[in-house]
């Protein structure tokens, strides 16, 4: 089997693979990684359902996807899903399930990062509510469509190392809000979501993994004040270099989405099931006392702990009222 790395692109990972007859759903196809993930899939013949909060924006952003579908034999459609509204998630998932069409891959790609303090339509802290709870409801409602051999890939981040989930105060009701702390909690939640989903579906041949796509300049930072973002990024870069690391390598969207497609299609299912992946391989487990760069490799134990994943699953069920 070909070995891929941090420099591999989506086209490298899918080279020679025929996806005709395969069906995928990718959340967040209005920019960046979502667009590139969908483009690569349709270019190899897959049918892709893309979701976006803003359909007009998504249509404008996905010309390359439509062009690739025409050239590669795939097909593409966009449906409206606002992950910050469970009513929107429920309506869209019901419509998709009603078609009865199976899914081979679900990519929980959409998300928000380091937003000012705000709440979803259902009253959840915005980052946890969007990144974790919105996807919890969506992917579980779609799970009956996932046939044997299907996979779920959840976009986490090395930002998970900023914080474990706080299941006692998920909405910052009693905790001073800090945007990067909330982001870290949500990305740990995303990794744990994959662990819990994998444990519940692997007996029927459906596996799940989380991925860190790498450091990529996408619209994910759109909620941040530009000056604040530059300051935070400069501080993290300085810390990265102070730990003796080489200069930071910024990935292209094609390199960032490569790990998603590696885990979702190419890698051995038993290798990636319930794991955290980065740079087209399974990420290494960090020692609990390891001092690492904000941009470094590896996963914290709390982000892949099965007991922690079960606790998150129970909390998500309690908060959303949806039990799976």
Catalytically active residues are 183
Strand order across the 281-282 sheet: 75-80, 47-52, 23-27, 103-108, 146-155, 207-212, 276-278, 281-282
Rounded Cα–Cα distance for residues 298 and 304 (Å): 11
Rounded Cα–Cα distance for residues 53 and 85 (Å): 10
Rounded Cα–Cα distance for residues 27 and 59 (Å): 14
Q: Report which DSSP code applies to 250.
A: P
285 phi, psi to nearest 5 deg:
-80, 125
Q: Report which DSSP code applies to 31.
A: S
Provide the token pair at 27.
Answer: 């959340």
Helices and strands, number each (H, E), in the chain:
13, 8
């Amino acid at each position: 089997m070909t070995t891929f790395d941090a420099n591999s692109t989506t086209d490298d990972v899918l080279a020679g693979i025929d996806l005709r007859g395969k069906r995928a759903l990718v959340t967040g196809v209005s920019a960046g990684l979502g667009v590139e993930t969908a483009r690569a899939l349709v270019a190899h013949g897959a049918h892709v359902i893309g979701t976006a909060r803003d359909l007009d924006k998504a249509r404008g952003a996905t010309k390359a996807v439509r062009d690739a579908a025409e050239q590669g034999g795939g097909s593409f459609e966009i449906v409206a899903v606002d992950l910050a509204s469970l009513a929107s998630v429920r309506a869209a998932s019901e419509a998709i399930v009603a078609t009865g069409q199976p899914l081979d891959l679900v990519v929980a790609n959409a998300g928000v990062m380091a937003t000012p303090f705000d709440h979803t339509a259902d009253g959840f802290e915005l980052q946890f509510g969007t990144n974790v709870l919105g996807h919890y409801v969506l992917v579980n409602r779609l799970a009956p469509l996932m046939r044997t051999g299907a996979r779920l890939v959840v976009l986490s981040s090395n930002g998970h190392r900023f914080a474990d989930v706080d299941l006692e105060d998920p909405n910052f009701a009693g905790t001073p809000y800090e945007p990067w702390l909330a982001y870290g909690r949500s990305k740990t939640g995303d990794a744990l979501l994959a662990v819990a989903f994998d444990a519940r579906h692997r007996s029927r041949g459906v596996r799940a993994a989380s991925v860190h796509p790498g450091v990529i300049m996408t619209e994910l930072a759109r909620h941040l004040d530009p000056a604040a973002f530059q300051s935070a990024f400069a501080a993290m870069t300085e810390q990265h270099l102070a730990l003796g690391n080489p200069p930071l390598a910024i990935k292209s969207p094609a390199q960032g989405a490569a790990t998603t497609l590696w885990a979702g299609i190419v890698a051995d299912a038993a290798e990636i099931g319930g794991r955290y992946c980065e740079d087209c391989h399974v990420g290494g487990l960090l020692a609990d006392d390891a001092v690492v760069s904000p941009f470094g490799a590896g996963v914290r134990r709390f982000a892949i702990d099965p007991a922690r994943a079960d606790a998150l699953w129970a909390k998500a069920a309690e908060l959303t009222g949806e039990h799976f």
